[in-house]
């Protein structure tokens, strides 16, 4: 099933394809300052695909912080954070807050990744994040 999401003004977006029903997604609430500031909720499926579908790519801002192992994709016009992509561009996660139609999702599980080494972080994402189509 395809799940579309986009920023508030519609300039940047994604299509997340997964065989898992939204009611069974593992929703993660990362506790880092960035995700907290955006009230972001993350979902990925290593067996699914993530395709970026920017209507106005000039508005795409890639933000990095901390270990700089991922690009957080934000809209320069409306400020919304839609998704993150690994530094090598192969895997990503979506911010479920930006999904069209606001599907009903399970309660998020709080996650803390503080203290994770860079190699542990990359290994975790290789296992858990969604391949970029
Ligand atoms: Zn926007």
Residue pLDDT, tens place only, 45-59: 999 999 999 999 999
Rounded to whole angstroms, how far apart are CA atoms 111 and 5? 23
Is the pLDDT at 128 greater than 90, yes or no?
yes
Closest CA to 1 of 39, 49, 38, 40: 49
Measured in Å, residue 59 CA sits from the centre of ligand 1 at 7
Q: Identify the sign of the CA torsion 38, 121, 50, 109.
A: negative
DSSP state of 87: T
pLDDT at 108: 97
Mean model confidence pLDDT for the chain? 96
Measured in Å, residue 112 CA sits from the centre of ligand 1 at 28
Residues in the chain: 133
- Going by pLDDT thresholds of 50, 70 and 90, the confidence category of residue 84 is very high
Measured in Å, residue 12 CA sits from the centre of ligand 1 at 6
Rounded to whole angstroms, how far apart are CA atoms 120 and 133? 24
Measured in Å, residue 33 CA sits from the centre of ligand 1 at 21
Is the pLDDT at 114 greater than 90, yes or no?
no
Is the pLDDT at 129 greater than 90, yes or no?
yes
pLDDT at 61: 98
- DSSP alpha helix (H) spans, the chain: 33-38, 118-128
Q: How far apart are the first and last CA of the chain?
A: 15
pLDDT at 115: 86
Measured in Å, residue 58 CA sits from the centre of ligand 1 at 11
């Amino acid at each position: 099933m395809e799940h579309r999401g986009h920023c508030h003004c519609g300039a940047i977006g994604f299509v997340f394809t997964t065989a898992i029903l939204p009611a069974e997604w593992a929703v993660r609430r990362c506790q880092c300052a960035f995700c907290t500031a955006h009230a972001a909720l993350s979902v990925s499926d290593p067996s699914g695909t993530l395709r970026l579908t920017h209507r106005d790519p000039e508005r795409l801002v890639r933000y990095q912080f901390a270990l700089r192992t991922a690009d957080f994709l934000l809209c320069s016009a409306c400020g919304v954070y839609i998704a993150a992509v690994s530094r090598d561009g192969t895997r990503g996660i979506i911010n479920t807050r930006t999904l069209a139609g606001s599907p009903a999702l399970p309660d998020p599980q709080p996650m803390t990744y503080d203290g994770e080494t860079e190699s542990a972080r990359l290994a975790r994402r290789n296992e858990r994040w969604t391949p970029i189509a």
